[in-house]
Amino acid sequence: MKVMIPGALRSYTERGEVDVGGATLAAALTELDRRYAGIRFRIVDEQDHIRRHIRIFINGEQTHDLSQALDVNDEIVIVQALSGG
């Protein structure tokens, strides 16, 4: 499936779109981390929750559920909010 990577995380992937496999969102993020070491930690915290400044959309629908089932034709969009002052 296609994963759209936000600009702030492209230092890991060096591109804005990558293809990964996985039966669930958690598996897809694990595959993403296998290829681009360290990226999953920027998306998922130590308690295995999506970080509060990250939004993940699957086929245009926001999800917070890492166990959500995926299809090979799904599109995952990762959005990272900007913060600071």
Say whether 77 sits in a helix, a strand or coil: strand
Residue 84's pLDDT is what?
59
72-83 pLDDT, tens digit per residue, is 999 999 998 866
Q: Please state the domain extents for the chain.
A: 2-80
Sheet holding 54-58, edge to edge: 17-19, 2-4, 75-80, 54-58, 61-63
pTM higher than 0.75 for the full model?
yes
Residue 36 CA to residue 5 CA, distance in Å, equals: 12
Token reading at 40: 């999953």
Are 1 and 75 in contact, with CB atoms under 8 Å apart? Answer: yes
Domain 2-80 belongs to what topology? Answer: Ubiquitin-like (UB roll) (3.10.20)
DSSP 2-14: EEEPPGGGHHHHS
pLDDT at residue 71 greater than cutoff 90: yes
